[in-house]
Structure 1
Amino acid sequence: MKQLKKFETFQHLHHQSAPFVLPNAWDAGSAAVFERTGFKAVGTTSAGIAMSLGYKDGEHLPFETLLDVLTNIACSVAVPVSADIEAGYGAFPEEISENVQKIAKTGVVGINIEDGTGNPEQPLSDASWQAEKIAAVKKLDLPLFINARTDLYWLKHCNPAFRLQSAARRANIYREAGADCIFVPGAVDTQTIHQLRNGISGPLNVLAGSGTPSVKLLSDMGIERISLGSGPFRASLTLLKTIGEEIISRGSFRHMTEGVLSYDDAAEWIHPPKK
Structure 2
Amino acid sequence: MTAFRDLHRSGLLILPNAWDGGSAALMRARGAKAIATTSAGVAWALGWPDGDALPVDRVVQVTRDVVRAAQDLPVSIDFEGGYSDDPAEVARQARRLVEAGAAGINIEDGGGSPELLASKIAAIRAAAGPDLFINARCDVWLRGLAKDAPVAEAARRGAIYAAAGADGLFTPGLTDETDITAMVGATSLPLNLLAYPGLPGARTLEALGVRRLSAGSGIVGATWGRAAALTEAFLLDGRSEPLGEGALGWGEVNALMPAVG
Tell me whether the two structures share a fold, i.e. TM-score over 0.5. Answer: yes
- The structural deviation recorded for 1:136 is 1.4
Q: CA deviation at 1:189?
A: 2.0
Q: Does 1:153 align with 2:116?
A: no
Counterpart for residue 3 of structure 1: none
Query: 5+ residue gaps in structure 2?
Result: none
| Code of the aligned partner of 2:210 | I
Give the corresponding residue for 1:58.
Answer: 51
AA in 1 matched with 2:124:
V
- Which of 27, 30, 39 is matched with 1:37 structurally? 30
Give the corresponding residue for 2:184.
197
Amino acid at match of 2:94: V
Aligned-pair distance for 1:245? 3.0
| 1:128, distance to aligned residue in structure 2 (A) | 2.3
Shift, 1:53, TM fit: 1.1
Alpha-carbon displacement from aligned partner over 1:61-109 (angstroms, at most 9, x marks no partner): 1111111111111111121100000111121221111111111111111
| Counterpart amino acid of residue 181 in structure 2 | H
**1:101-112 residue pairs with structure 2 within 5 A?**
101-112=95-106
Query: Residue type of the partner of 1:72?
Result: D
Following the alignment from structure 1 to structure 2, what is the Cα–Cα distance between the partners of residues 164 and 241?
Answer: 38
**Aligned partners of 1:184 and 1:207 also within 8 Å:** yes
1:77-96 correspondence runs (5 A): 77-78=70-71, 79-96=73-90
The aligned length equals: 259
Q: Quick one: which of 127, 143, 147 aligns to 2:131? A: 143
**Which range moves more in the overlay, 54-63 or 214-223?**
54-63
CA contact (8 A) 1:81 1:108 kept: yes
Give, as a single letter, the amino acid of the residue that structure 2 aligns with 1:149: R
Q: CA RMSD in A?
A: 1.7
Report the equivalent of 2:62.
69
Q: How does 1:1-275 map to 2 (within 5 A)?
A: 7-16=1-10, 18-78=11-71, 79-116=73-110, 123=111, 125-140=112-127, 141-158=129-146, 160-249=147-236, 251-271=238-258
* 1:130 CA drift (Å): 1.9
Alpha-carbon distance, 1:251 to partner: 4.5
- Provide the rounded CA distance (Å) in 1 between the counterparts of 2:198 and 2:242: 27
Pick closer, same or farther for the CA change 1:190–1:253 going to 2, 3 Å: farther
Offset at residue 126 of structure 1 (A): 2.0
Distance 2:214 2:167 in 1: 15
TM-score computed with the length of structure 1 as normaliser? 0.89
Q: Which runs of 5+ in 1 are unaligned?
A: 1-6, 117-122
Q: Aligned with 1:217: secondary structure?
A: helix
Question: Scaled by the length of structure 2, what TM-score is found?
Answer: 0.94
User: Residue 188 of structure 1: CA displacement?
Assistant: 1.4
**1:139 counterpart SS class:** helix
